[in-house]
Structure 1
Amino acid sequence: MKKLLYLLLVTAFLNCNNERVLELPKIESAEITEVLDVSHAYIFYDETQPDSTLFNRKNLIGTTNWLVNVDKRLTLKQAIPHIQYLQDKRKKASMHKNEAAKNYFTCNDKSIKNLGFVEFSDVNYSNSSEISQDYKTCIMTVNSLKEITFSSSANLNISFSKENFSSVLPILKSEFGESIKLIMSFNESLSFQDYITIKNNLATFQNSISNNEFIY
Structure 2
Amino acid sequence: MKKLLLLFSIVLFASCKKEDVQLPQTNASVTTELTDHSAVYMFFRAEENDTLVEVNTKNSISTTNWVFNIDKRLSLDLIIPEIKQLQAKKKQSSHTKEGAINVYSYADSIKKTLAFLPFTDVQYKYDDQFSKFFIKEHSDLYATYNNLTINFNKDNAITVDGNDVPREELVDFIKDFANFMSDGKMTIIHLNFDKRLTYGEYIQNKILAWQLTTDIIQLSSYEFVYDTERIPDCNCKL
Relative to the length of structure 2, the TM-score reads: 0.78
Structure with the higher strand share, 1 or 2? 1
SS at match of 1:52: strand
Shift of residue 186, structure 1, vs aligned partner? 0.5
SS at match of 1:21: coil
Contact 2:24–2:107 (CA under 8 A) maintained in structure 1: yes
SS at match of 2:12: strand
Contact 2:171–2:212 (CA under 8 A) maintained in structure 1: no
Q: 2:220 aligns with which of 181, 196, 210?
A: 210
Which range moves more in the overlay, 40-49 or 106-115?
40-49
Shift of residue 145, structure 1, vs aligned partner? 6.4
In 1: Cα distance, 2:155 partner to 2:102 partner: 25
In 1: Cα distance, 2:12 partner to 2:155 partner: 25
Q: Unaligned stretches of 5+ in structure 1? A: 152-156
Indicate the residue corresponding to 2:148 in structure 1.
Answer: 138
In 2: Cα distance, 1:65 partner to 1:183 partner: 26
In 2: Cα distance, 1:60 partner to 1:146 partner: 32
Amino acid at match of 1:165: L
Shift of residue 79, structure 1, vs aligned partner? 1.1
Q: 1:176 aligns with which of 159, 175, 181?
A: 181
Indicate the residue corresponding to 1:26 in structure 2.
Answer: 25
Q: Unaligned stretches of 5+ in structure 2? A: 137-141, 227-238
Shift of residue 11, structure 1, vs aligned partner? 4.4
Indicate the residue corresponding to 2:235 in structure 1.
Answer: none
In 1: Cα distance, 2:106 partner to 2:122 partner: 18
Q: CA RMSD in A?
A: 2.2
In 2: Cα distance, 1:40 partner to 1:58 partner: 8
Amino acid at match of 1:72: K
In 2: Cα distance, 1:88 partner to 1:183 partner: 22
Indicate the residue corresponding to 1:53 in structure 2.
Answer: 53
In 2: Cα distance, 1:59 partner to 1:198 partner: 28
| Distance 1:64-1:197 versus aligned 2 partners, 3 A rule | same
Amino acid at match of 2:209: L
Shift of residue 146, structure 1, vs aligned partner? 4.9
Structure with the higher helix share, 1 or 2? 2
Runs of 4+ in 1 over 4 A off after TM superposition: none
Contact 2:175–2:212 (CA under 8 A) maintained in structure 1: no
Does residue 10 (structure 1) correspond to residue 37 (structure 2)? The answer is no
In 1: Cα distance, 2:30 partner to 2:211 partner: 8
Contact 1:146–1:160 (CA under 8 A) maintained in structure 2: no
| Distance 1:10-1:81 versus aligned 2 partners, 3 A rule | farther
Contact 2:156–2:201 (CA under 8 A) maintained in structure 1: no
Q: Within 5 Å, which residues of 2 pair with 1:155-194?
A: 157-177=162-182, 178-194=185-201
Contact 2:4–2:114 (CA under 8 A) maintained in structure 1: yes
Amino acid at match of 1:210: S
Relative to the length of structure 1, the TM-score reads: 0.85
